[in-house]
Amino acid sequence: MIFVTTLDVIPGKNDELKKIMNKINMAGDIKIMEFLSLFGKPDYLIVFEAPDEEKAMSYVLKFAPMSTPKTSLAVPVDRP
């Protein structure tokens, strides 16, 4: 399953968020496809794969002390 998470960083927590992002152990359950910094709000966008919603939620909640995460399930669109 593919998920998209946006992160609005709490002021003063940006360095802490980047450290956590670099230290998180994926343990094979989560595959980061993209981790992007954005101009304006939201501050970051993460596109990742997880086997199910429970694993995705567990991953995203690691960012909650430093940001306001918003996550959506992404569904690939078949193109003609």
Return the domain boundaries, the chain.
2-74
Q: Please say if the pLDDT value at position 4 is more than 60.
A: yes
Q: What is the pLDDT of residue 19?
A: 85
- Express as a percent the part of the chain with pLDDT over 70: 95
Confidence of residue 13 (pLDDT cuts 50, 70, 90): very high
Q: What is the pLDDT of residue 27?
A: 56
Q: Average pLDDT, stretch 4-20?
A: 93
What is the C-alpha separation between 67 and 44, in angstroms, rounded? 10
- Three-class DSSP labels, 43-69: CEEEEEECCCHHHHHHHHHHHCCCEEE
Domain 2-74: which CATH number of 3.30.420.40, 3.30.70.920, 1.20.1050.10, 1.10.3720.10: 3.30.70.920
